[in-house]
Amino acid sequence: MRIAYIGLGAMGRPMAANLAARFDTRVWNRTAEVAHRHAEANGTTAVEDLVDLADADVVCTCLPTTVEVEAVARVLAPALGEGTVWLDHTSGDPQQARDLAALLGAEGVDYLDAPVSGGTNGAEAGALTVMVGGDAGALAQVEVVLDAVAARVVHVGPSGAGMAVKAVNNALLAASLWAAAEGFAALEKAGVPTSVALEVVNASSGRSNATENLFPERVVTRAFPNTFSLALLAKDVGLARATLDAGDVAAPILHLVDRLTADAAEALGGDVDHTELVRMVERAAGVELH
């Protein structure tokens, strides 16, 4: 099985490294130097020209949005062999993913939207959750590939369904970050440190990934390590909004979360870690969470 991996960012780097431990893996990155460093460190083969990936059996992409994936696909797809499977790990747009599936399908390439969850820790451990939209037969062909990067793979529906599930998941992540920040800011003002409140909440019914992992590791420590940018989270919540609107679901909470997250990315700069959105709540309340 020959793998081509496109996009060696925070997620793509460790995913491609895990693939290289099991398969012949070629890598391409917009900034070529990153691909060469990856090859030296992980035993992948760096290519500078996308068409040098043409003999791959499976093409993986992990880029910011579906727009960048489509641009790459327009260059590479005509060179790919019939029956190649394109596994797109980007958190992308469901409709654009369906369009891309049609574009690639015309070249005999099976496109699966296969966004991932689990962050950079999950990517390093090869323990991601993958939500797959598209043809079950194509998914069966790449199960062995997904096994190298994932602890759980769920076929969620037809083309685009994986992207929709990912967008809603990340809207829920953003909602729990905002809600927890508000609650803990109020408790700080009432004299309860966030670290103490977390001891209670994480043994109680208000807990979430935000309270169990993100607040203790990133907020209370004031470390805010940048593993997943606020710009990417804002993008995902915006994509969830499109899904809600398309389904004609009145969603006042998630629409508000979308607006707040977009505003935070603008105010703080999108390059910071997503958890830094709590600074918006801290500033408005005049407290810091410790």
The distance of closest approach from Cβ of residue 89 to ligand NDP in the complex, given in angstroms and rounded to an integer, is 6
First to last CA, the chain: 49
Residues 5, 86, 178, 228: which binds ligand NDP (CB under 6 A)?
Answer: 228
Residue 168 contacts residue 115 (beta carbons within 8 Å): no
Nearer to ligand NDP, 12 or 185 (CB): 12
Residue 270 within binding range of ligand NDP, rule CB under 6 A = no
Residues 29, 84, 176, 261: which binds ligand NDP (CB under 6 A)?
Answer: 29
Which part of the chain contacts ligand NDP (CB under 6 A), choosing from 49-57, 63-71, 252-260, 281-289?
63-71
Using CB positions, name the residue nearest to ligand NDP: 9
Residues 1, 2, 9, 202: which binds ligand NDP (CB under 6 A)?
Answer: 9
Residue 120 within binding range of ligand NDP, rule CB under 6 A = yes
Residue 121 within binding range of ligand NDP, rule CB under 6 A = no
Nearer to ligand NDP, 99 or 182 (CB): 99
The distance of closest approach from Cβ of residue 61 to ligand NDP in the complex, given in angstroms and rounded to an integer, is 9
Residues 19, 46, 47, 62: which binds ligand NDP (CB under 6 A)?
Answer: 62
The distance of closest approach from Cβ of residue 131 to ligand NDP in the complex, given in angstroms and rounded to an integer, is 11
Q: Of 165, 187, 178, which is closest to residue 208 (Cα–Cα)?
A: 178
Residue 68 within binding range of ligand NDP, rule CB under 6 A = yes
How many residues bind ligand NDP (CB under 6 A)? The answer is 24
The distance of closest approach from Cβ of residue 191 to ligand NDP in the complex, given in angstroms and rounded to an integer, is 34
Q: Label residues 211-233 b or e (16+ Cβ within 10 Å = b).
A: beebbbebbbeeebebebbbbbb
Residue 54 within binding range of ligand NDP, rule CB under 6 A = no
Catalytic annotation, residues: 166
Residues 114, 116, 173, 174: which binds ligand NDP (CB under 6 A)?
Answer: 116
Q: Which residues pair with 154 in a beta bridge?
A: 131
Binding site for ligand NDP (CB under 6 A): 7-12, 29-31, 34, 62-64, 68, 90-91, 116-117, 119-120, 227-228, 232, 236
